[in-house]
Amino acid sequence: MEQLSSPLSRPIDIQDITEFKDKSDLELEINRAWRRDESECVETLLEQTEIDQEISDKIYQLAFNLAHSLRERKGSAGKAGIVQGLLQEFSLSSQEGIALMCLAEALLRIPDKATRDLLIKDKINQGNWKDHLGQSSLMFVNAAAWGLMLTGKLMETPKANSLSGLLTGILARSGRGIIRKAVDVAMRMMGEQFVTGETIDEALNNAERLEEQGFRYSYDMLGEAALTDHDAERYYQDYTNAIHAIGKASSNKDVYEGPGISIKLSALHSRYQRSQIDRVHDELYHKVFNLAVLAKQYDIGLNIDAEETDRLEISLELLERLCFEPKLNGWKGIGFVIQAYQKRCFYVVDYIIDLAKRSQKRLMIRLVKGAYWDSEIKKAQVEGMTDYPVFTRKVHTDLSYIACARKLLAEPDFIYPQFATHNAQTLATIYHLANPEQYYKGQYEFQCLHGMGEPLYEQVVGSKADDKLGVPCRIYAPVGNHETLLAYLVRRLLENGANTSFVNRIADKTLKIDELIENPHQTIDVTSRIEGKVGLKHPAIPYPKHLYADHRPNSLGIDLANDQDLEHLNHTYQQWSKVQIKATPMGLRLDESVHDTESMAILNPANHQDIVGEVTETHAMQVEMALVNATEAQQDWQNLEKDQRAEYLITASNVMESRLEELMVLLSRESGKTFANAIAEVREAVDFLRYYAAQVKDLEHKAVIQPLGTVLCISPWNFPLAIFTGQIAAALVTGNTVIAKPAEQTPLIASIAVQILWESGVPQSVLQLLPGRGETVGAQLSSDHRIQGIMFTGSTEVAKILQKTVSKRLNQFGQSIPLIAETGGQNAMIVDSSALTEQVVLDVVSSAFDSAGQRCSALRILCVQEDNAHTVIKMLKGAMKQLRVGIPSLLKTDIGPVIDREAKQTIDQHINKMKSLGYPVQQLMRDQDDSHLNQGTFVKPTLIELPHLDDLEREVFGPVLHVITYKYGELDRLIDQINAKGYGLTMGLHTRIDETIQTVISKAEVGNLYINRNIVGAVVGVQPFGGEGLSGTGPKAGGPMYIYRLMHECTHKKIAQPYATSQGVELTEHQNLLNQYKDWVNKSFPHYQMKALQPSCVGHSYELQGPTGESNQYVVLPRHRVLSLADQEIDQIHQLHAILAVGSQPTVLGENTFVLKYLPSMPKEVAQRIAIIADIETGSFDAILHHGTKNQLLKLQDKVAQRQGPIIGITHLEPSNYDIPLERFFIERAISINTAAAGGNASLMTMQA
């Protein structure tokens, strides 16, 4: 590898990756605090929140009185009290509470009765409702427990053989409509507790009762974030209509006395994010401005709601523009929400005060604690951030709240503070910090959520003469129908159920009031004395870097929403965007052997005018020299301590991580990756290096590894760094020398990866790079007898060619040449009518179109239940219209090019064929003018609606999604049809019904199953990746079994408890059959001593460590059928023992003399378990265990290579050798479940403070 040109300092003709604005010192301070160390933040906040003892005593007394009165207060009357009782009885830490939350989230939006009944049955059957009988003082809650228990019994599938079962069945059939109606009413009642009205007029009417008591209102029009222009326009009209209605109802009150409106910017624009900053300013801002002008006409307040942390700084940009609009002069109704749980909040207050002064406005600032805490924690972990943007301890948020409140109260001429809290201690602190003796009308107000805070604020709102505090409270009042309230409702249920929630804790009579109202200073002080330092993060929430505990560090990412990170990336881009790199054969003295070689230009697939570099194809003489080098280096490399080899990989991972941005730029130019995809790819490469290094170091020190020898790694162009590095890392660390042949389209990034590994200590003869075409360099290497193993990722067709090539020879140990092949897939996602459409569409778009659909795991077939197909497809088309196709080095680009002209031509041919067959085909993107795409090889995102699955014959490797529909009740048949395609890589499922999840888990024959999430982006060690059937041979890359396939032998393997897994849960029990067989052998062959087998993990499920809000399961199952081939009786006995021990079905040829002789005497169950096939060429089996001679093995290999269908692996042993590697007969499956899909992360929210 060499550079043909040097990095540039800053050429003026290179476009920036995104728009940047100059930031003030206050804005820079906000940015610097984004992920500041929690302890450092807390120390600063403690200094700013010192309160003298006299005021502290007053705060304590008021907080005690408020909390005591609240606890002793009679429960709310009517529906509100009933719902509060339900929430207290069925807490989120119970299975019943989770079931109720899931019901509330999904039931009302499901369009068909059959799926609704299935959801009710599914959730009600999960609960142990008997335990809740008689536990509540509210009769309705006890009735609910009775009803839910009865419903569970009625919805059960009755046992037909009993009279009671028959009667239950009749009642169930006649009563399901009644049950459905009752549960529906209960869910609507729960919704009404938190929603003020279904329409703005209804809400205004419902608000009158509390307005008469002195409460004020701010209305929020409910709904999910918009994904389409249609949705955004609908929300805009809802806000417009609401402002007119609120304005007319405000009766000429001012912004402080009258009602107001809260707007959610993500509802007004489908791309409210940093990457689309141009559209945010050009399109979204004008909507906000128009709504503000309208609100000014009525003199009502308009609050911009706070959302996720990565939207804070762009929302401040919009606020700044709004404040300087001449049309809004003289209006005091501009409002903005800030979140105390953000580490930046303290500095946001400074900026807002300064903005108010500069624009001569008095701004309405609502201070909240924050509502997206669990998702912020997960996002930081997933993206490998340096720290969290939010406090990990509730008490630190409480402290931040007080510090920010103090600043806001200190600027009464420029800030009208609105303190949103349900916490009596926080309320009391604000009240006394504001100096109640000098309170004046319009100084500040409190706020609470409708349905949550009214009981507390009944003690606050009203005259002091009536023993109230005399401070106004505004109720945040959601408005919307029952279908739109679901996401909001679950968020409220989570907040109510959170263990740190005051609303939850006040109801817990076991907690003393003093514990509820402890001053944050006191709590922090006590904790710091225990932990030895002030303000440490929550011990149960690891830093993103420590996500994998002691096993290995998490790879570091870049925040593409953070201008500081973007500026740095932009600088790197300017330096490296014109650098040209030359890839040549790399290895010991390879550059000395051949001189007259031609080079080929490597073009940027997005812009063919950009020559990224050039590559020199490896000459046949260089291939020979590389093979000699590798063979000579093998002994020294395998003799090196395993831990030393691992250290080289760890060093390389650190170097690669330090060069993240440079590698991103090259990936973007050479393979057309967007920056988001490029970050993920470099991180995956780093993770591979660390995972395999850590796994080998985890093996016992005395473990002896016998490697295969020289391994050929053939990697693809779609992950030219990650898969390339993963293959090499696994082979190197297990003691093999490596010859790597990168994809013809992407040799440049491969050459840099090799250079990094060389610099990290790997000798040049141990790792060599031979760029070139498959039919020349690849063919010469794969057919050479010195190649002892092949790792391949690519097409199924090429994998079969490689299988035939290696079938003609054996390795140095007289074994079959190991071929690890990871090939394509016809990946499907099944969506039933209980799924949340917005969630489905987001996951479908990322799964099908991200990386221009050029992932092995990408979604190819979307299967939607008929009942919600119209809604899903309509929203999907709208979301596709938001996608920007173009130059991947621009931050605004969603989809880059396909890799080359050949790829584009193949995809276009398929699309044209589908059109010619009359199927509806739509190609949709943001800019319908596609003239800017002529410089590269682009394919527009394409949606093809098919009548049935059979119309799709082969994988289309690009941004093309096929859609079919299925009827309720056809799920089993649909999965059978998908399985029948023969591929088995990835599958997705969107549902809220656990029974459906279990059905798909048990029936789907895929390596990676994703539930209620997207189906791409498998993380090393978290979702080990690889398929079965036509999709690959196994073992899974980034999984615990992979390295063993690269060893000829290894003492002290860890296959009983796989690496980096939790304690296993047994799934299948086959011990009885095995014991029957062993007993039979002992009786029938007393002179034979069967060798004990190594314990294994087969038949177990393990939890893999990963981000919060996910369950990542690693499941080890037996291969279905293992063909047993042996001449000697004793060999056959051991083979059957091994096959039964893993739980596979022993399969034999019809002429098997052992089975013909002994089958009649075998135990009946064992005999019935043995399958007999006619011949090897056509028989059904998916692995072979062979004892015999080398000549027999060669003949067997030739027969197996001629078979149609999946590649079958042969495990060969010499006669009388019974060290059978059981892991060869495993099927590994990874199941990743988004456990927060129903609206929030209950496990994180219910964590102890």
Nearest to 1141 by CA among 1088, 1073, 1196, 1203: 1073
Could you give the CA distance from residue 183 to residue 582 in angstroms, rounded to a whole number?
67
The answer, yes or no, to whether the previous bond of 1035 is cis (omega within 30 of 0) is yes
The CA distances from residue 784 to 390, 411, 622, 627, 1194, in Å, are 57, 80, 14, 9, 16
Find the catalytic residue in 822, 838, 955, 1228: 822
- Could you tell me the two tokens for 701? 């020190």
Could you give the CA distance from residue 100 to residue 124 in angstroms, rounded to a whole number?
8
Catalytic residue status for 404: no
- Could you tell me the two tokens for 1182? 């998916």
- Which residue bears the tokens 């993990």? 1097
Catalytic residue status for 856: yes
Amino acid in position 201: D
Could you give the CA distance from residue 17 to residue 278 in angstroms, rounded to a whole number?
12
Contact present, 1135 and 1196 (Cβ < 8 Å): no
Contact present, 710 and 736 (Cβ < 8 Å): yes
Amino acid in position 79: K
Contact present, 394 and 1249 (Cβ < 8 Å): yes
Could you give the CA distance from residue 953 to residue 608 in angstroms, rounded to a whole number?
32
- Could you tell me the two tokens for 670? 């050479």
Within 250-341, where are the H helices? 265-268, 277-279, 285-298, 312-323
The residues near 87 (Cβ < 8 Å, ≥ 6 apart) are 493, 496, 497
DSSP state letter for 18: S
Within 33-138, where are the H helices? 38-48, 53-72, 78-89, 95-106, 113-124
Could you give the CA distance from residue 120 to residue 142 in angstroms, rounded to a whole number?
19
- Determine how many CB atoms are found less than 10 A away from the CB of residue 514: 11
What is the crossing angle of helices 312-323 and 25-32, to 10°?
160
3-class DSSP state of 1010 = strand
The CA distances from residue 42 to 38, 353, 922, 949, in Å, are 6, 22, 54, 58
**303, β-bridge pairs:** 262, 335
- Which residue bears the tokens 């006995």? 1133
DSSP state letter for 283: I
3-class DSSP state of 982 = coil
**154, β-bridge pairs:** none
- Could you tell me the two tokens for 1087? 């002179």
List, in sequence order, every beta strand (DSSP E) within 692-800: 705-707, 710-714, 737-741, 767-769, 787-793
Could you give the CA distance from residue 233 to residue 253 in angstroms, rounded to a whole number?
29
The residues near 482 (Cβ < 8 Å, ≥ 6 apart) are 108, 187, 188, 191, 198
Could you give the CA distance from residue 858 to residue 824 in angstroms, rounded to a whole number?
10
Rounded to 5 degrees, what angle do the CA atoms 117, 121, 127 make? 150
Could you give the CA distance from residue 196 to residue 192 in angstroms, rounded to a whole number?
7
25 by Cβ neighbours in 10 Å (0-12 / 13-18 / 19+) ranks as: exposed
- Could you tell me the two tokens for 1120? 């279905």
Find the catalytic residue in 323, 856, 863, 1050: 856
Contact present, 303 and 263 (Cβ < 8 Å): yes
SS3 of 548-587? CCCCCCCCCCCCCCCHHHHHHHHHHHHHHCCCCEEECCEC
Catalytic residues: 822, 856
